[in-house]
Structure 1
Amino acid sequence: MTWTDARIAQLTRLWTEGISASGIAEALGDVSRSAVLGKLHRLRLLASRQTPAAPRRYDGPTGVACPSGRMNPPPVPLAARPPEPPRSPWQEAVFAPLPETLARPWLSREPGECAFPVGGDGDALLSCCAGIRPRSAYCPAHHAIVFKVQSPAAVAAEQRRWAEAVERWAA
């Protein structure tokens, strides 16, 4: 596959229209998405999009007669993003600070204090800072949230698997 002037012009036009690299590869045919991205990089077009647009698939030429004689309909505009679902109440309750603790920035907590995030974001992330459970990074309340208790059947199955493994190693 060679990059002719016509193919480069089509590549540039499709890219400026907001078509994704995969869509351009489909439209050009006989070229991979990686080849399209490489050519866009060499043409210094990868950073040319001013605002990040949602990638679109190539729907074929618009308003042009198909081989069957029918006209392609114009592309349908992208629908607005659906609203974000409401957060469930249990998530809100989990990330609330415990009543008997004073949440502090995560990076300023002392050894032996709970590391569970209870608020903030990025550098302002707050942690619980309650006393931790032995051999854990979390207080008992948050340890129970982070680590699911195994059922007795699951514990028994794991013990059987370990016993079988020990027998195989001993043999």
Structure 2
Amino acid sequence: MSWTDERVELLKKLWNQGLSASQIASELAGGITRNAVIGKVHRLGLSGRAKSPAPQQARPRKPATRAPSHPMTHTAPAPSPVARGNLAVMPKATPIVAPLVELAPAPVAEVVIPMSERVTIMELRDTMCRWPHGDPTSEDFRFCGAKSPPGAPYCPFHAQIAYQPSLDRRRSAAKFAAS
């Protein structure tokens, strides 16, 4: 492949006509690739080229829709304005807020675990509650040791504390923050 003077002149002519590098490479043939055409165009400094007169059609715009600012807020449909045209006054929509429903907390049974049931890690078995009591670095540290259901790590009382539904956790966190 070599760039003869005739090929360079044909390249300039085709480039100014607006042909693509691929089209020019197929016209020139003789082992000249698209990338070779692009490289030669840059080396010759042929940046200005005729553009094809392909008019771009404007896409129609979609009407803008606004989402409500809060998922529980709904806007009442506004009545149609009395006046027409650009002087029409549109009444403001008033938000309707749904009231929050407060659920009653489930009663929690208090269970007092006697000190005799608390066990060390060496005494802990598969059917015993693994709820920790105290500071793990102290000698008085123990586990609950009450009977737990098969496959469960905690007794029913400690399971209620450990596995709270997310709504209950938020409610108790809000009560804690309020006090």
TM-score normalized by structure 1?
Answer: 0.34
**Going by fraction, where is helix more abundant, 1 or 2?**
1
Q: TM-score, normalised by structure 2?
A: 0.33
